[in-house]
Amino acid sequence: MTPFELAAADADAIRARTGVARHDVVIVLGSGWGPAADRLGTVVAEIAMTDLAGFPRPSVAGHTGTIRSTDLGGRRVLVLQGRAHLYEGHDPAVVVHGVRTAVLACCRVVLLTNAAGGVDADLVVGGPVLVSDHINLTGRNPLVGPPPPEALGPRFVDLTDAYSPRLRALAREIRPGLPEAVYACFLGPSYETPAEIRMARTMGAGLVGMSTAFEAIAARQLGAEVLALSLVTNPAAGVVAAPIDHADVLAQGAAAAGGLGDLLAEIALRSA
């Protein structure tokens, strides 16, 4: 199967296993965001990602590898509790498989979350930040390869508004004062060096991480609206004199989970 055929097959499998013909919104929970899942509606069904053909088994702590179908005030939501990363050795098509599957299951709104290092020293550790744009520094792209089927959107995707201005305005209406920043996507899994952080800052980035950009590209190629929300879990390398530890990433997520889950739920509920 091509990546698009595989995503379509898994979308059909989700319909069959959940009994929900159409989902409206997909929420991808990144590192540290797992506890927010319980704020995202009444659980209708839960599926192990590995029960579907195109999803790999997550290998990163904090990614449980389940898909929830929830009812959030009448909005049908798919909650992906974990994602695949390029640094796990996956092809870019595998990294974006979850988002492609969700959009082909009729989700027209894609809410991406991640844990990020704060390049901008003014960003508060433990606080959410809207992604206004991204810089893909991986040298890879999920659209490389055979062209997508014509019915599923163009090969040459306009990313001028990769992150929906409408959804960003909605998020700021729900939480006034929510900061925005450009997200620089590195390959990982090693954290960035201070020199790389200086480079990212010079390029205009306020956040750094190892995900999100590929999923945003794939979702926009299929015509979905995208919003991305980062949780600043640590100052980036060299911003302060402190080591960076993945355990701290998960701890920050657990501490902020309730408020972040409520914010995501409100965005999803009002995103129609």
pLDDT at res. 192? 94
CATH C-level class of 3-270:
alpha beta
Beta-sheet strands, E only, within 85-154: 109-118, 128-136
269-to-80, 145, 197, 224 alpha-carbon distances in Å: 17, 36, 36, 16
pLDDT(127) > 70: yes
Residues shown for the chain: 272
Known catalytic residues are 31, 63, 85, 87-88, 115, 210-211, 234, 246
Residue of 256 and 128 predicted with greater confidence? 128
pLDDT at res. 61? 63
pLDDT(139) > 80: yes
Residue of 59 and 269 predicted with greater confidence? 269
Average pLDDT for 37-65: 88
pLDDT(256) > 90: no
Residues 6+ apart with CB under 8 A from 224: 103, 107, 108, 109, 110
Tell me the pLDDT band of 255, cut-offs 50, 70 and 90. Answer: confident
pLDDT at res. 259? 86
Residue range 204-248, pLDDT digits in tens: 999 999 999 999 999 999 999 999 999 998 888 878 766 777 777
**94-108, 122-136, 152-166, 252-266, range with the lowest pLDDT:** 252-266
| CA 93 – CA 187 distance, rounded (Å) | 15
Query: pTM for this structure?
Result: 0.94
| CA 202 – CA 148 distance, rounded (Å) | 35
Closest CA to 25 of 266, 232, 257: 266
Residue range 64-121, pLDDT digits in tens: 789 999 999 999 999 999 899 999 999 999 999 999 999 999 999 999 999 999 999 8
Closest CA to 14 of 48, 58, 57, 64: 48
